[in-house]
């Protein structure tokens, strides 16, 4: 049984690596590496440092949000949550998707509270709060500046993502919708997955007894998403890129969503290709769009270095015990 699972995982990794390589090959047909490097070299250190500070504030805010969602179940020390987030950031740089760190959080929180499904529910709810704020900002910005968006497909894409997310969120809120959305799992003999999804839904619905925790988590989510977009804008200004601020509000949610799709290695290549298309619609050259995406990706990746140190020290402590 282990060998087929390993071969399947290896095949999935190779397919995602192939998509990443293919995306960069396509990009290099239109962009010169020297142009990308020149754009990155022009980045002002002060602006880059400011972006790193914004990311640190956002990172801490995410830890606080998760602590709030965990509180109705069990109060855990903030330092533990911060450590698990750091370790998750490290594994995000190693695993094929940007949500690999969530598995680390579920694993560690599950051990701490002695309940894996509840830990998974808090992490999923944490993600949903973030998605809600991100899509709300993107959709609101799209509707406000709809006339300025030259390509209708971009506006349609943002609104389509909002609709898909709203349907999924409704599925968790309504048992009838949930049964309809998860019915295909029965057809493909994935009853165990549907059962796990049902348990997660029941746990999330139980948070209705704690509306204050949900409202606080949503409020922090809007702050986090605002900081992420401010980070993107700060990097663009540090690189002397001439893009309108509204483009950040509309395009960043799309780029972040694409990065989470399990079709490439951490969204690399695919995200940069999307950046070329999106920011190209407002006149930004392809090389500068790729450079902007890579620098904004590098900043969170740096937290993975601290995460590696946190993981090593954590493993040493647990082995001594």
Going from N- to C-terminal start, the domains of the chain cover 44-320
- Comparing 177 with 153, the larger pLDDT belongs to 177
Of 44-58, 118-132, 268-282, 298-312, the least confident? 298-312
The arithmetic mean of pLDDT across residues 74-89, rounded, is 90
- What's the CA angle centered on 113, arms 111 and 119, to 5 degrees? 80
The CA-to-CA distance between both ends of the chain, in Å, stands at: 32
**How many Cβ atoms from other residues are within 10 Å of residue 9's Cβ?**
11
**How many Cβ atoms from other residues are within 10 Å of residue 232's Cβ?**
25
**How many Cβ atoms from other residues are within 10 Å of residue 19's Cβ?**
17
Q: Are 167 and 135 in contact (CB under 8 A)?
A: no
Cα 215 to the chain's mean position, in Å? Answer: 21
Per-residue pLDDT at 54:
96
Phi/psi zone of residue 77: left (φ > 0), alpha (ψ -120 to 50 degrees), beta?
A: beta
Q: Are 223 and 200 in contact (CB under 8 A)?
A: no
Per-residue pLDDT at 313:
83
- Cα dihedral 194/199/203/204 (nearest 10): 0
Per-residue pLDDT at 175:
80
Contacts of 262 (CB under 8 A, 6+ apart): 16, 96, 97
Q: Are 254 and 158 in contact (CB under 8 A)?
A: yes
Cα 285 to the chain's mean position, in Å? Answer: 26
Q: Are 99 and 188 in contact (CB under 8 A)?
A: no
- Cα dihedral 216/219/224/228 (nearest 10): 170
Distance CA 229, CA 135 (A): 12
Report the percentage of the chain scoring pLDDT > 70.
Answer: 88
Q: What is the DSSP string of 111-160?
A: HHHT-HHHHHHHHHHHHHHHHHHHHHHHHHHHHHTGGG-S-HHHHHHHHH
Judged against a pLDDT cut of 50, whether residue 52 lies above it is answered with yes
Q: Are 305 and 94 in contact (CB under 8 A)?
A: no
Full-model pTM: 0.83
Give the model's confidence band at 29: pLDDT under 50 very low, under 70 low, under 90 confident, else very high.
Answer: confident
Residue 206 DSSP one-character state = G
The arithmetic mean of pLDDT across residues 245-256, rounded, is 90
The arithmetic mean of pLDDT across residues 47-74, rounded, is 93
The arithmetic mean of pLDDT across residues 69-94, rounded, is 87
Indicate the average pLDDT of the chain.
Answer: 83
Judged against a pLDDT cut of 80, whether residue 157 lies above it is answered with no
The arithmetic mean of pLDDT across residues 12-28, rounded, is 82
Give the model's confidence band at 6: pLDDT under 50 very low, under 70 low, under 90 confident, else very high.
Answer: low
Give the model's confidence band at 1: pLDDT under 50 very low, under 70 low, under 90 confident, else very high.
Answer: very low
| Torsion over CA: 4, 5, 7, 11 (sign) | positive
């Amino acid at each position: 049984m282990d060998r087929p699972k390993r071969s399947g995982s290896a095949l999935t990794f190779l397919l995602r690596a192939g998509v990443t390589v293919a995306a960069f090959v396509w990009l290099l047909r239109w962009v010169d590496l020297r142009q990308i490097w020149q754009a990155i070299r022009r980045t002002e250190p002060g602006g880059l440092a400011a972006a790193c500070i914004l990311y640190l504030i956002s990172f801490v805010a995410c830890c606080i949000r998760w602590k709030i969602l965990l509180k109705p179940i069990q109060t855990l020390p903030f330092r533990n949550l911060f450590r698990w987030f750091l370790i998750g950031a490290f594994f995000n740089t190693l695993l094929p998707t940007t949500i690999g760190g969530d598995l680390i959080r579920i694993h560690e929180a599950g051990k701490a509270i002695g309940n894996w499904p509840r830990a998974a529910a808090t992490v999923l709810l944490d993600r949903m709060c973030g998605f809600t704020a991100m899509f709300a900002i993107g959709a609101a910005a799209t509707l406000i500046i709809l006339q300025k968006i030259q390509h209708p497909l971009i506006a349609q894409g943002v609104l389509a993502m909002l609709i898909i997310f709203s349907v999924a969120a409704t599925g968790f809120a309504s048992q009838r919708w949930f049964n309809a959305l998860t019915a295909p799992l029965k057809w493909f003999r994935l009853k165990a997955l549907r059962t796990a999804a049902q348990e997660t839904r029941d746990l999330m619905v139980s948070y209705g007894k704690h509306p204050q925790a949900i409202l606080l988590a949503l409020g922090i989510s809007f702050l986090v998403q605002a900081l992420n977009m401010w980070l993107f804008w700060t990097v663009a200004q540090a690189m002397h890129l001439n893009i309108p601020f509204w483009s950040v509000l509309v395009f960043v949610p799309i780029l972040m969503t694409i990065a989470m799709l399990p079709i490439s290695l951490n969204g690399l290549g695919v995200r940069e290709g999307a950046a070329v298309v999106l920011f190209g619609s407002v006149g930004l050259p392809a090389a500068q769009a790729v450079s902007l995406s890579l620098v904004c990706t590098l900043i969170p990746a740096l937290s993975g270095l601290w995460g590696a140190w946190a993981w090593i020290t954590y493993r040493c402590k647990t082995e001594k015990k």
